[in-house]
Structure 1
Amino acid sequence: MKMKLNSNYWENRYLNDDAVWDTGIITTPIKEYIDQLDNKSAKILIPGCGNGYEFEYLLNNGFSNSFVLDYAESPLRNLKNRISGHNEDQFIQSDFFEHDSQYDLILEQTFFCALDPGLRTEYVKKMHDLLSPKGKLVGLLFQFPLTESGPPFGGSKEEYLNLFSSYFEIKKLEPAYNSIKPRQGNELFFIFTKK
């Protein structure tokens, strides 16, 4: 029987301290990408944010129009407890596929790999819908064989090109040179622009 990757599943992973993907800090590829951004007013979303180190980093660096979304309540609560002076509307507890807004930039950090692989086409369409014209989807995708065991679920550069190229212009999709040690050789850094 296949497990349901619903809000209860994710909430239990956090409550049981089973968030093995949680690095405790922003990862280097995302940090270095944010460091070269200069539009502090850009509207940014981090879906499946978990404990949201990227969000915290954005806020600390003046990107005040940033938002996080997660299915589970615990990581959002943890994030609120860590960050002072936040606006409540920046924290969205929702099913990603039901969320409706427009963003200039969406950061992908271990969300895609956490979804049931059967939702990948729907993910691509939803990301396209959530981005403003010429908006960017940027982040990391795992590069290891896709199997039924997961999350995390893997994939390949070829699969990602086939999946995203109908809706996005592929600006970059290459092995991340600056992955954190446990993920070295297993991550692709990408920049996709909405068509």
Structure 2
Amino acid sequence: MAGPTTEFWQNRFEKNETGWDRGSPSPQLLEWLDSGELKPCRIAVPGCGTGWEVAELARRGFDVVGIDYTAAAVEITQALVNSQGLKAEVIQADVLTYRPEKKFDAVYEQTCLCAIHPEHWFEYAQQLNQWLQPGGGLWVLYMQMIRSTSSEEGFIVGPPYHCDINAMRALFPEKSWAWPKPPYTKVGHPNLAHELAVRVIRR
């Protein structure tokens, strides 16, 4: 399998080499929640990492399932949820093979796609399509990590992998997903890159 292994991510968490972690929920998630755009429902958080978003969603009354295939991430997320007296399901699973017991109303995708090697993006997009019920929302932050020299020479560098918006439109095509019109909100990120915040709807 191309891209980082489970051992790679386990090592990062064990050594606390998690530079992508803000230490709090994403400001964009808070904006979506505070504005009332994202309302309590059954929601998945793939690649949940240290669990800030899982805990925030649980605190706000969502039926939330956090998914990560690294044992350390699952343990950290579960500990955070427990420490706040919240209820959430946190499972260790590979998002490329995971099958939920029932479909989700929403998926919050923040750091999973950009952590998966692009060779597996199409497979992951198919998974998200299968997880969501028709009309369900994919609340996504597309990582913009442009590395000019490597990109110009055709190298695939990451994680995080650059989620070019044209590639994202091909990955989540209009025939299956309804996109809003740009421009999309730019969200600053700790690693000096930024994300594009978009909500796309499964048709």
Task: Calculate the TM-score normalised by the size of structure 2.
Answer: 0.84
Q: CA deviation at 1:24?
A: 0.7
Post-superposition shift, 1:37?
Answer: 4.2
**How many residues matched?**
190
The one-letter code of the counterpart of 1:9 is F
Q: Is the 8 A contact 1:173 1:188 kept in 2?
A: no
Residue matched to 1:104: 105
Alignment-derived partner of residue 71 in structure 2 = 73
179-188 or 101-110: bigger deviation = 179-188
- CA shift for structure 1 position 174: 3.8
- Give the alignment of 1:2-21 within 5 angstroms: 4-21=3-20
What's the Cα RMSD here?
Answer: 2.2
- 8 Å CA contact 1:125–1:167 kept in 2: the answer is no
CA distance in 2, matches of 1:167, 1:13: 35
Name the CA shift for 1:121/1:12 in 2 (closer, same or farther; >3 Å): same
Partner of 1:163 in structure 2? 171
Runs of 5+ unmatched residues, structure 1: none
1:22 aligns with 2:21: yes
Matched position secondary structure for 1:97: coil
Equivalence for 1:134? 135
Aligned to 1:47: 46
Alpha-carbon distance between aligned partners in 2 of 1:96 and 1:181, rounded to the nearest angstrom: 23
TM-score (norm 1): 0.87
Distance 1:5 1:170, change over 3 A: same
1:34 aligned onto 2:33: yes
C-alpha distance in structure 1 between counterparts of 2:194 and 2:122, whole Å: 22
- Deviates further, 3-12 or 22-31: 3-12
Structure 2 counterpart of 1:100, one-letter code: R
**Cα distance, 1:27–1:3 mapped onto 2, change above 3 Å:** same
- Give the letter for the 2:113 counterpart: F
1:43 Cα deviation from its structure 2 partner: 0.5
Deviation readout 1:133-169 (Å, 9 max, x if unpaired): 1111112001243642210000322111122114311
- Letter in structure 2 aligned against 1:115: I
Deviations along 1:111-137, one digit per CA (max 9) or x if unpaired, are 110000111111111100000111111
C-alpha deviation, 1:186, in angstroms: 2.7
User: Is this contact kept in 2: 1:143–1:188, CA < 8 A?
Assistant: yes
